[in-house]
Amino acid sequence: MIKKIVIIFSLLFASSHGSADELKPFTSDGCSAFPDGTLAQNELWLSCCTAHDLAYWKGGTAIERENADIALQKCVAAVGQEEVATLMLAGVRLGGLPYLPTPFRWGYGWSYPRRYAELTAEEIEQVNKQMAKLALDKK
């Protein structure tokens, strides 16, 4: 009986992790539930959030997420908003966990649930194709 259970779990595990998930096209909601800028300059740090969304969309390791969050903080601070940058860092550290079923979670380009993990070669290929398409669309 135990041997059958082990075999069943092995087959389930192998089938659920045998191929990469399909990466959805990149989307950005700006700064999610946070303003994109000040009242006077309503898109002051929007480009910082879009770059941050790109990192969150593709996902990866916990260290990559931390680096993306710190890059967001530095970007917003660089436009002269150090206090806002500190608030945003706290917000993304709490609200961007991959375990939450939100549209702005870490790794939101992949199906939920998606844990922290290095991208596979196949997943990196999907990311690169999507990034090339984005670059062409901007031209």
Q: Which residue has the higher pLDDT, 135 or 86?
A: 86
Mean pLDDT of the chain: 88
Residue 45's pLDDT is 96
pLDDT digits (tens, 9 = 90+) for 8-27: 434 333 334 434 689 999 99
Residue 7's pLDDT is 42
- Work out the average pLDDT over 61-70: 98
- If pLDDT is split at 50, 70 and 90, which confidence band does 1 have? low
Is residue 90 over pLDDT 70?
A: yes
Is residue 49 over pLDDT 90?
A: yes
Q: Which residue has the higher pLDDT, 85 or 11?
A: 85
pTM of the model: 0.83
Residue 138's pLDDT is 76
pLDDT digits (tens, 9 = 90+) for 125-137: 999 999 998 888 7
Nearest partner of 35 among 80, 76, 78, judged by Cα: 76
- End-to-end CA gap in the chain: 61
3-state SS string over the chain? CHHHHHHHHHHHHHHHCCCCCCCCCCCCCCCCCCCCCCCCCCCCCHHHHHHHHHHHHHCCCHHHHHHHHHHHHHHHHHCCCHHHHHHHHHHHHHHCCCCCCCCCCCCCCCCCCCCCCCCCHHHHHHHHHHHHHHHHHHC
Residue 136's pLDDT is 80
Is residue 107 over pLDDT 50?
A: yes
Residue 16's pLDDT is 40
- Ordered alpha helix ranges (H), 59-120: 62-78, 82-95
